[in-house]
Every structure is written in C-alpha cells, then in structure tokens.
Structure 1
Amino acid sequence: MNLTELNQLDYCLNISCTERPGSPAVYILLYVFAAIVVLLTLGGNLLVILSVFHFKKLHTPTNMLVLSLAISDFLIGALVMPPLLIWIIESCWILGQRFCISLSISLTFLTCISIYNVVLIAVDRYFALSNPFLYMNKVSVMRINVVIVTNWCVWVVYSFALLYFNGIVSSWTKCPEVCSLFLNEVWSVIDLVFTFIFPSSVIIILYSGVFVIAKKHATAIRELSKQTRSQTHTESMKSERKAAKVLGILVSVFMACLLPYYIQSLVVEAQYVQKSIVIFCLNSTINPVIYALFYPWFRRCLKIIITLQIFQTNSGLLNVIS
C-alpha cells in the first residue's frame, strides 16, 4: 500500500459513520418529518403545475416562468431531498457511490435551473414594469417558452461539462461513507461566478429597479385616481405592482435560502455543507406556500382541484383570475 492509499485510508477512518446516539423512536420521528417535508414539496408544486397547465387564463408569460420554477422545485423534492435528508439523519452516506453520483448530477443541474428561473422572473418583472407597452407587444407565451427550454438545455450541458471536465471519476472521494464532489480550482471559480455571483447580482440590481419603479407607480396611481375616474389604466398598474411585490417576496426568500449554502461552501469542506443544501432545497417547499398566501388565483385553483371540479367539461376555461 503506497503513501497516497494510506492517507486515503486514514482520511476515511476519521470520517467513518458512528453509532446512532439517539433512540429508535427519535429516528422514526425524524424519518416521518422528512417524509412530510418531501410530500409537502411534491404536493405543493404539483398543484402549481396542474393549475398553470390546466387553466387557459393562467397561460401568461410570467406564469410560464412560475411553472418552470415549480417543475424544478418538484424535481428537487423528488430527486434531491429524499437522499439528502437520509444523509443528514444517518450522519453519513449509506447509499453507495452510484447514488452519490446521481445526487451530485441532480443537485448541480436543478440548483442551476432554480437559480436562473428566479433570474428570468426578475428580468420579466423589471421589463414589465419599466416598459409595459413594449412588454405587451414583444413578450409572448411562445417566446417565453423558447427562453425556458433554452435555459434548461444550457444547464443540462453545463452540469455534464462541470462533472466531465472536472474529472467525474477522480473527483469523488473513494470513502464509501462520504458523498462529495470536489471541484478543482478552475471549476470552483467558474461555478461560483455562474451559479452565485452573476445571478445574485442580476437579481439584486433588477429588483432594486423594480421597487423604485413600483414606488413611482404608487405615486402615479394616487395622482391618476384624483384626476380621472378611468379605472382601466389604474387597475393595470396596481396589478403589475402587486405581481412585482409577490415575486419580490419569492425572490427574497430564495436568496435567504441560497446564501447559507454558498457562504458555508466557501469556508468548510464540501462534505459538511449538506445541512445548508437542505435549507436551499426547503425553498422548493416554501414557494407554493407563498403562492397560496399571496395569489388569489392559486387559492381558487386549489379549491377547484381539491373538490374535483377540474374533471368537469371545459373546466380549463374557467376564469380563475377575477
């Protein structure tokens, strides 16, 4: 056995799984809680997906972006959260290297998709508020769908490039009880720039602009209400401001969930950041709650779906917006 192998063996022994310190009842409760979180994530996002797909009135450019985010959140709940929660409960990795590779690929891809879905939502809201007439003429559902598909394709390519050129075989630790993807220095910088620094900067800059514009609109609405009885333009401006406010809350929660992972990943070793990854993934659970609290159309859709009215003829043509 050479020196490298001895060092690897010592490293693996130092981080090997320890015996469970708690009682079986504690672990059962932890697994029940984990199952509830996963089911809430899957169920909440599935309701968003069904709502936007089924009801024709919801086929707007902004809602297509919300749909894309809900799909990525659903996949995070299905592919990432279960092994990640098992990893935390067990205090070490027990699912083997193949599941480790699968988790790393899914986590890399879906994290990027979620981040850039939020970036696209920020761009959409800024464009809609800063130049509403051009937005109505230029931004269509078809064009947004092309942007969304392109976004997904780009991050599929990026994820596999990241894993392939970084060394998909040699970059994973050989310890059976550890799941960690070690990036070389070049890819660490590339990944940090493209998945955190650039999108975070875009989101902060655009939403700063959104809130400035929304404040101007609020002043304009008050002046318009005093000078005219016309409701069409006033209601349109109020609607855009409300959409910006709701999506601003969504973006703020997203950033709050994203920051702990990137801050911790910069200061500790890769295998110790799984708890902050879970915090980021919990954003996928929170998003449908935000829709339920602030979107009346989602509450109406939820009622129609739960009462099975969705199976009635032409239910997709119901006006769930007004």
Structure 2
Amino acid sequence: METARAEEQLCFPLSNNSCRKIPRIPSEATVVYTLLSSITIVTVVLNLLVIVSIYHFRQLHTCTNFLLLSLAMSDFLVGFLQMPFQIFYYHGCWFLGSFACALNNFSSFLIISASVGNMVLISVDRYIAICDPMLYPSKVTIKRVTVCIFLCWIFSCVHAGWILRDILGQPDIYNSCIGECVLIVNYAEGVVDLVLTFFAPIIVITYLYTRVFVVAVSQARAMRSQITAITVGPVAITVQRSEMKAAKTLGFLVLVFLLCSCPYYCFTVAADNSSGAAELWLIYLNSCVNPIIYAFCYPWFRRATKHIFTLKILQPGSSEMNIL
C-alpha cells in the first residue's frame, strides 16, 4: 500500500529518477485551474480581436496602431504559449520532454523582451507626436515603424538565444530528475537581462513620458489661451486633443505594464524564488489587461469587435468600413 502511494506521488512511477509531484488540495487545484484557464482564454480571444481589427480595417493602418499590433502579437503568444505551459506545470511535473522545456524557456524570454521593446517604441512614438508634431508625419512613417518592429523582434530572438545558449544546446542540463523543467541563469547573464529588459527600458520610458506630459500640459494651456485666435482653428484643436488623449491612453498602458513587471524583477534582484510563480503570472496578466484598456479607451476597438462578432468583416469591401 505504501509503495503504491509513493508511486502516485511520482511524475514517472516506472523511473528510478522521477521527480515528485507537488501535493495540492483538490478543491484548491480546481479553483486555480479554473481561474488560470479563464485568464488564458480571455487573453487569447481579446488579443486575437485586436490583431484581426488592426489587420483587417484599413483605417487602422497607422504607425501607432502597428505598434499596438506588435504588442498584441506578443500578448497573444503569452496566452497561447506561456500560460498553458505554466498551467500544465502547476503540479511540478513536466511531461512534455526536454525540447518543449527549452521551447518554453526560450519563448518566455523572447516574448517578455519583445513586449518591453514594443513599450519603448510606443513611448518614442508618443514623444515625437506630442513634442515634435510638425515633423511627426515625416519622421514616423509606416516603413520606419515596420523596420523598428522587425528589429525589436530580431533583437528579442538574439537576446533570448544568448541567455539560453546552454539550455538550447542541452535542454535537460539543469534538471536533477525526470519530469523537471528548470532554468538557471548565471550572474553575468542575469545582470545583462535585468539591464536590457528592465532598468534601461524603464529609464527611457520614464524620461520620454515625463517630457510628453510636460509638453502636453503646456500645449493645453496654449490652446486655452488662443482658442479664439484665428491661427488656432477647430481642426488644429481637435488634432491636439486627439494626440493628447492617445498619449494618456498609451501612458496608462505603459504604467500598467511597469506595475505588473516590477514585482517580478524586484524578486529577481533580491534572488528570492519563493514567489516566482506568482510574480511571473502577474507579468502574464498584463497581456490580458492590455486589450481591456483598448476596449475602454478606443471606440474603434469596440466598433471593430462588433463587426467581427456580427461577421460583417466577411462582407465584400468590409475592410474599407468607417470605424473611426
């Protein structure tokens, strides 16, 4: 009886080097699985709506929206890849093999790095739009934004590959038993990752948005003082207000990202792994929150979603619909 019970606690009962399962209370496990699975489904569906909306409707083919599309792609991959992997590993047993373990670790570094890069690009976009609006159309073009997005993802791939070069060559190098998926990053690589994906982006984003809101406040005061002047017409006022609203929305998006990311990196700095899973899920939760922010702040997203659910996007010429 005791032998059978001991075998039930092993990930691979027939192996002498099997890892042990983490004991979970059945009711607690059910609640956790239900909650995490719901978050995963919502993340995938909402980000897929963002991707389809921006890709399908031509009116949404703007530089800023292409940056949001890239961010939505990384958020979609979080829900499609990372969240299911983490749910699968909840009991502490990895049944998918060493290759899937290496893929899980690689995609985690890749996606988080790409998300950070997208946030920096969004901050640069808003900085130029608010602080140098006259030159924005010539400086920020679809071609340049596409190149920047491409380079962001390439850099993320190179970064993840360099950090995980050992585990990519030998996926089970850090596993002490069968059924384990462990990643150990040495001190030098950890410092580089911390600087490139946390400290440096935060400094850049904070500086740019500080400048953005300083200029936005000064522009708002100037508009109020000149609202009756001939040189400031209704169109100019509408454009300025639109840019400021976009800056506030994307600023809130960046703020939520930083709030979700800081706990994980703080524990990383402190080398405290006791709450690593919770902090990692907080980063993943940000991928679910982003499209919710779009739904509340962008009327075009609500209209596009309505067209998608009513299948109007299947009609001929639907990509030319006016949804702004």
TM-score (norm 2): 0.88
Q: Does the CA-based 8 Å contact 1:94-1:177 persist in structure 2? A: yes
Residues 180 and 37 (structure 1 numbering): CA distance in 2 closer, same or farther, change over 3 Å?
A: same
Name the structure 1 match of 2:127. 126
- In structure 1, how many angstroms separate the alpha carbons of the residues matched to 2:167 and 2:36? 32
1:261 aligns with 2:264: yes
Q: Between Structure 1 and Structure 2, which shows a larger proportion of helix residues?
A: 1
- In structure 1, how many angstroms separate the alpha carbons of the residues matched to 2:168 and 2:305? 46
Give the number of equivalent residue pairs: 304
The code of the aligned residue for 1:105 comes to F
Name the structure 1 match of 2:54. 52
Name the structure 2 match of 1:245. 248
Structure 1 segments (4+ residues) deviating >6 Å = none
User: Displacement of 1:151 after TM fit?
Assistant: 1.1
Q: Does the CA-based 8 Å contact 1:171-1:182 persist in structure 2? A: no
Report the 3-state secondary structure (helix = DSSP H, G, I; strand = E; otherwise coil) of the residue aligned with 2:89: helix
- In structure 2, how many angstroms separate the alpha carbons of the residues matched to 1:138 and 1:94? 48
1:187-198 alignment runs, 5 A limit:
187-198=189-200
- In structure 2, how many angstroms separate the alpha carbons of the residues matched to 1:254 and 1:108? 16
- In structure 2, how many angstroms separate the alpha carbons of the residues matched to 1:254 and 1:67? 16
User: Displacement of 1:99 after TM fit?
Assistant: 2.9
- For the aligned residue pairs, the C-alpha RMSD in angstroms reads 2.0
The code of the aligned residue for 1:97 comes to S
Name the structure 1 match of 2:43. 41
1:267-278 alignment runs, 5 A limit:
267-270=270-273, 273-278=276-281
- In structure 1, how many angstroms separate the alpha carbons of the residues matched to 2:175 and 2:268? 17
User: Displacement of 1:18 after TM fit?
Assistant: 3.6
Name the structure 2 match of 1:86. 88
User: Displacement of 1:28 after TM fit?
Assistant: 2.9
1:319 aligns with 2:287: no
- In structure 2, how many angstroms separate the alpha carbons of the residues matched to 1:251 and 1:70? 14
Q: Does the CA-based 8 Å contact 1:45-1:71 persist in structure 2? A: yes
The code of the aligned residue for 1:49 comes to I
Name the structure 2 match of 1:236. 239
Report the 3-state secondary structure (helix = DSSP H, G, I; strand = E; otherwise coil) of the residue aligned with 1:133: coil
Name the structure 1 match of 2:106. 105
Query: Any unmatched runs of 5+ in structure 2?
Result: 1-16
User: Displacement of 1:195 after TM fit?
Assistant: 1.0
User: Displacement of 1:128 after TM fit?
Assistant: 0.9
**Deviation larger for 202-211 or 219-228:** 219-228
Residues 171 and 198 (structure 1 numbering): CA distance in 2 closer, same or farther, change over 3 Å?
A: farther
Q: Does the CA-based 8 Å contact 1:178-1:271 persist in structure 2? A: no
- In structure 1, how many angstroms separate the alpha carbons of the residues matched to 2:297 and 2:240? 17
TM-score (norm 1): 0.88
1:17 aligns with 2:46: no
Query: Any unmatched runs of 5+ in structure 1?
Result: 1-12
- In structure 1, how many angstroms separate the alpha carbons of the residues matched to 2:103 and 2:322? 42
Q: Does the CA-based 8 Å contact 2:94-2:181 persist in structure 1? A: no
User: Displacement of 1:97 after TM fit?
Assistant: 3.4
**Deviation larger for 265-274 or 312-321:** 265-274
Name the structure 2 match of 1:65. 67
User: Displacement of 1:73 after TM fit?
Assistant: 0.4
User: Displacement of 1:269 after TM fit?
Assistant: 4.8
User: Displacement of 1:166 after TM fit?
Assistant: 7.7
1:283 aligns with 2:282: no
